[in-house]
Amino acid sequence: MSDRTGNDPYIDPQVEPVLERMLASMAERGPIGSVPPAQMRQRFNEDVSGWNLDLPDSHKVEDFAINCECSSRIVPVRLYRPIDTDEPMPCLVFVHGGGWVVGDLETNERTMRCLALASGVSVLSVDYPLAPENKFPAGLNCCVAVMRWLREHGPDRGINPDRLAIGGDSAGGNLALATALDLRNAGEYWLQLALLVYPALSPNTDSPSHRLFGQGDYGLGTTAMEFFWGAYLPDKSAEDDPRAVPLLADMKGLPPVYIVTGGLDALTDDSNRLEQKLEAVATPVMHRHYPGMIHGFFSMALFLDVGQEAVAEAAAALREVMGTS
């Protein structure tokens, strides 16, 4: 396996105008964390609204809520069914990114529809409780509870409980992997796949990718990630908890893992390290790396050809694993 972060000296031409707009917006807003979380969420929603134009039609999009009895929470979810069928469908549960602080069911609306349509798999998006109001492990506990609810009640929603996968991007990738680890630790081995899109797996920023791309010149940087980790973790001791920092965990017994990374992303070495740990215990892993891409590109398929390619390739992996080819 080669070091992927050192061989990406260029920016994809389609990324350049995206990055220019992103950096201009960041400069206008000042330091991250300088406004209350509610205002951060409003700004983020305005930013990502441009990602979610020209929505492809899905057979059925349904909003409902799941009662997470373990935490006495009601978790809003959105289910995308790509085809009209009476048969129970495989389902990918997807957890949005946003540093555990921002994001909701609208964040990846277009991406979820595209994944569902291209894979033939239903997709369930989860609106987990956000930090800093709800610190670790609140969001994780809800994600685990949603998976267990689907395992028990999936047929009531047209979902095959024997064909379930978990996925997420950035902070959502952290929650997705931690959910898979929690289920494994409980002796529950029914997940079919973990789809991890540039996941945030460790607060340790002493890595080549952080040194190369963490100054903020490519969007998400080291300072921002330090803020997000500080908002998510209840205290310093949580940095030693594999449920919060899944890169610390033993990776034995996990389902196959599909990883997506970008060449200009400070988080890429989290995924490189995860790939090494998975390979060391013979857990099947596929790592698709896209040179010249910034953090967030998977959600920008509307105007990035490589983003569209990455979504299509992840959908193909879902089709193969979930039996919808």
Q: So which residues are the catalytic ones?
A: 170, 265, 295
Q: List the one residue out of 234, 121, 233, 229 whose CA is nearest residue 167.
A: 121
Task: Dihedral sign for Cα 181, 92, 310, 284, please.
Answer: positive
Task: Dihedral sign for Cα 196, 304, 310, 12, please.
Answer: negative
Asked if the peptide bond before residue 90 counts as cis, ω within 30 degrees of 0, the response is: no
Residue 313 burial class via C-beta count within 10 angstroms: exposed 0-12, middle 13-18, buried 19 and up: middle
Contact status, residue 267 vs residue 198, Cβ threshold 8 Å: yes
| Tokens coding 292 | 């010249």
Contact status, residue 111 vs residue 299, Cβ threshold 8 Å: yes
